[in-house]
Amino acid sequence: MAREEKSITLDELQNITRIQKRYLLAIEEGKYDIMPGKFYARAFIKQYAEAVGLEPELLFEEHKNEIPLAYDENLTEQLSRTQSRRSVSPSSSKALELFPKVITAIFVLALLVLIWFLVTKYIDLGDKSAVNKNNNGAVDIKESGDVIPPAGEKEEETAPADEETEEATPEETVQQEMTVDGVSGTTTTYTLSNADKFEVEVKAASDGATWVKIANSKNEVLFTGELKDGAGEKFDLTDDSSVSIRAGFTPKTEIYVNDELLEYELSPEEKNNTVQNIIIQFQKME
């Protein structure tokens, strides 16, 4: 069984999928008649398959004679709802026709206001960054750093600064880069560069829970289990070349690389992306 091979308990699977344990057990035993309906049966099976790393469509095809179809029931329910709706009065119909036009007008107006705001802000920033003319006798500064005295005053000669007292120019800090190498299904590969360390922390959101599995480049499991309410696991992988992370519920999974939050390339808000595999490769600085 795929769930047992991945060492996931029914309680953990219930937290990941938000499906009651009795329905999960019914899926494993093929007792689909206790499901709330055919549509829910297929939806629950799809979530179960994704959580344990199986392809739902292949599963439906292999067991098409066992898994109930959903469209007949949906069609009957839609027809029943359509027949039970009250007829719409002419005045209500006109209001419904005008509603999209009103929404469009509001959207266009909001867009114009936003453009006006951005243009005025850009002009204001440009004015602040421009060089002010010396109209009030104030001291100006040349591009070279020399001081220009007000009109009517002579420029005082200053002795050249001692070379030993010159302040050292601070070294430029190198900003680490995280790039996306590719996406295959629900697996995204990233590359970390311009970094002198490789520290990875996986946390649950402060208001939720998730199940994660973390392994190094040698496929050695560093951690597997449930995280909840802001709890996390942190690893120093500077001497390693990569790390793989399987997140069971990405909307509540936060991944930090050198204390910088990783942005998912695949949106966790989309239903098919709740379970993802993240691979991060580390390029050491020379």
Q: What pLDDT is attached to residue 235?
A: 96
* Interacting residues of 286 by C-beta distance below 8 A, sequence separation 6+: none
Contact present, 264 and 246 (Cβ < 8 Å): no
Last residue of a domain, one of 82, 108, 125: 82
Q: What is the domain count for the chain?
A: 2
Q: What pLDDT is attached to residue 7?
A: 81
- Does residue 97 lie within any of the structural domains? no
- Does residue 170 lie within any of the structural domains? no
- Does residue 9 lie within any of the structural domains? yes
CATH number at residue 7: 1.10.260.40
Which residue range is the domain that position 276 belongs to? 177-284
- Residue type, position 233, single letter: E
Last residue of a domain, one of 63, 82, 101: 82
Q: What pLDDT is attached to residue 237?
A: 94
- Residue type, position 276, single letter: Q
Please indicate, yes or no, whether the overall pTM of this predicted structure exceeds 0.75: no
- Does residue 168 lie within any of the structural domains? no
Q: How does DSSP assign 7-54, residue by residue?
A: T--HHHHHHHH---HHHHHHHHHT-GGGSS-HHHHHHHHHHHHHHTT-
Q: What is the Cα–Cα distance from 283 to 193, expressed in whole angstroms?
A: 5
Triad 236, 246, 203: Cα angle to 5°? 55
Q: pLDDT tens track of the chain, all 286 residues?
A: 777 777 888 888 888 888 888 888 888 887 877 777 777 778 888 888 888 888 878 777 777 777 766 544 444 444 345 444 444 455 555 677 788 888 999 999 999 999 999 888 877 776 666 545 445 544 444 444 555 555 555 555 555 555 555 555 555 566 899 999 999 999 999 999 989 899 999 999 999 999 999 999 999 999 999 999 999 999 999 999 999 999 999 999 999 999 999 999 999 989 888 999 999 999 988 7
Last residue of a domain, one of 55, 82, 109: 82
